Amino acid sequence: MANIQKAAPKDLSEEAAPELKNRGLLLTGLIIAMLFGALDGTIVGTAMPRIVGEFGGLGLMTWLTTAYMLTSTVIVPIAGKLADLIGRRVIYVTGLIIFIVASALCGMSQNMTELILFRGLQGLGGGIMMPMAIIIIGDLFTGKQRAKWQGVFGAIFGLSSVIGPQVGGWIVDAWDWRWVFYINLPVGILAVILISIALPKHKSTGKVKFDVPGIVTMIVGVVSLLLALTFGGSEYAWGSWQIIGLFALAVVSLVAFVFIESKADEPILPVRLFKNRTFSTINGVGFLMAVGMFGAIMFVPLFMQGIVGISASASGTVMTPLMITMIAASVVSGQLIDKIGVRRQMFIGMIVMAVGFVFLSTMGISTTKLIASSYMVMLGLGMGLVMPILTLALQESFPKSELGVVTSSSQFFRQIGGTFGMTILGTIMNHKSTILLEQNLEPVVKQFPAEVGTPLIDMIHKNPQTLYSSLLSPEALAKLPKELVERLPIIKDALVSSLHQVFIYGLVFVLLGAILTLFVGNIKLSDRKSKKKEDGKDDNQVSPHLAH
């Protein structure tokens, strides 16, 4: 263990009250940081074609997302634990500064390799920033107030997802793709100033121990697992030595991580937390919800473009109702939870999501944009009812001393769930596609001349998604042999059936999440007024953790 002469938090008591004068300033800084941090997740996608046009490296394009995803995922639990150990302000401001510096470096990149490396660095900053805002909200407010504010922050995150592509497109058209990154600098600097002024300092004495072996084994384990899930079935076959090796490394590292955490004085993710029913069930629900959510987000646009035949931009607008209703439901959920309770609201939200997936599994060639958008409304309502209260329920179930680690765990398991969802549902689609194309298209292709049929048969077995690209753009369609163009309905039918399979499996994951909510304990939201009566504390006094 590496010992650092820092300290455990000390109750500020009378020192805390004057600093509450900056609560509005602090909330402003948090909102600004959340907005530009979340915006960066969707704004960059719009700039990718321009980036590839300037740098080349089409084969490396996915790494612009993968690098950010890997680093932002592994840093989440580490940041949460460090926030508990050495303080909120130093960790949050460090994350902001990393994000700002990385954004500047991304804008100054001269080739694709540099940009990928700097996106990885940017992911470290983003992975620190996102959970820290929710942790600080947990410090600032009691349970009922947290419900409202976490709903607001959920709405901000959803709003960023909606406006990100539009803002990114405007920036790229008006200026240059580099300004997609440079725009973070002035906004980020403002957030740093506000948070540095408004967030109280850490007050402590004594020693803090960093769990270095736990950090190393967790990073190796999670990165290996994410790489295996990302590249399995696409870059490499699932049975290849590369993927098997990555899974083996992940298992060995994560087993070592569990052993180390069970012995560590200050573990990054204490193993004993999993013995707590609330911790295990809430994070399980978050994981399963993320699997289904990413199933919808990734595959609905493909269905609308490939089957219904609408443009890419029009298919993007189909997702807008999901984001808008998720924002509205996130705000309402903060008020609703006090009336119907945590467990009931989570169950209702997951069932509403499940109904949305049932509707998605009925879509066909005649499905209109309006009908698809109405299905997105159902999904958005369900997600908005569940997402804000996952973290809230954990915060209400653990002492303040563990607020950082349990809050960051919520985001960590959802990010892992999202990665798992994109991978496993994509694999299901490819597997179903291969079977259907082998049954219905391969016999037809075998009648083509050998120079035409042999490459197509190879494509059916190894990469059926390449055939689907012909349904998405006139350019891809023009490259197909004319013999195959006449059989496009076979390809379209295979895609319909494959995507139905994806939505059904998404439904299964969401229903499992709904069942899991039934095992969540009876969680009561704390009330500042009742606390005041019980312990005589002033209503304006903040949690000692705000002193971090």
Phi and psi (nearest 5°) for 311?
A: -75, 170
Rounded Cα gap, residues 39 and 480, in angstroms: 38
Residue 462: partners with Cβ closer than 8 Å, 6 or more residues away: none
> What percent of the chain clears pLDDT 90, i.e. is strictly above it?
11
Most confident residue range from 204-213, 353-362, 473-482, 487-496: 353-362
DSSP letter string, 274-307: GGSHHHHHHHHHHHHHHHHHHHHHHHHHHHIIII
What is the band of 546 on the pLDDT scale with cuts at 50, 70, 90? very low
Query: Which of the four pLDDT bands, split at 50, 70 and 90, describes residue 30?
Result: confident
User: What pLDDT sits at residue 73?
Assistant: 77
Q: Which residue shows structure tokens 């607008």?
A: 317
| Domain 18-204 and domain 270-442+475-523 have a common topology | yes
β-bridge pairing 8-9 and 204-205: antiparallel
pLDDT higher than threshold 90 for residue 348: yes
DSSP state of 469: G
Could you state, in order of their start, the residue ranges of all structural domains in the chain? Answer: 18-204, 212-264, 270-442+475-523
Topology classification of domain 18-204? Growth Hormone; Chain: A; (1.20.1250)
pLDDT at 244: 92
Residue 57 pLDDT exceeds 80? no
State the pLDDT confidence band at 335, using cuts at 50, 70 and 90: confident
CA distances from 432 to 55, 167, 323 (A): 36, 37, 29
3 three-class SS: strand
Percent helix, strand, coil in the chain, to 5, is: 80, 0, 15
Residue whose structure tokens are 């945590």: 342
Q: Is the pTM of this model over 0.85?
A: no
The DSSP result for 325-365, as a single string, is: HHHHHHHHHHHHHHHH-HHHHHHHHHHHHHHHHHHHTT--T
* Domain 270-442+475-523 CATH superfamily: MFS general substrate transporter like domains (1.20.1250.20)
| Spatial contact of 516 and 284, defined as CB atoms under 8 Å apart | yes
Give pLDDT, residue 97: 93
Query: H helices of 108-238, where?
Result: 112-140, 143-174, 179-182, 184-198, 212-231
pLDDT at 455 over 70: yes
What pLDDT is attached to residue 16? 38
Dist CA 318 CA 383 (whole Å): 16
C-alpha 453/C-alpha 459 separation (Å) is 10
Check residue 13 and give left, alpha or beta (phi > 0: left; psi -120 to 50: alpha). left
Which residues make beta-bridge pairs with 8? 205
196: CB partners within 8 A, 6+ apart: 89, 93
The confidence band for 350, taking pLDDT boundaries of 50, 70 and 90, is: very high
Distances 272 to 269, 423, 451, 519, 520 between C-alpha atoms, Å: 9, 30, 62, 18, 17
For residues 480 and 472, give the distance between their C-alpha atoms in angstroms, rounded to a whole number: 13
Q: Which residue has the higher pLDDT, 264 or 66?
A: 264
Per residue in 279-308, pLDDT (tens digit) is 889 999 999 998 887 766 778 877 877 777
For residue 359, the model assigns a pLDDT of 92
Nearest by Cα to 286 from 79, 78, 458, 512: 512
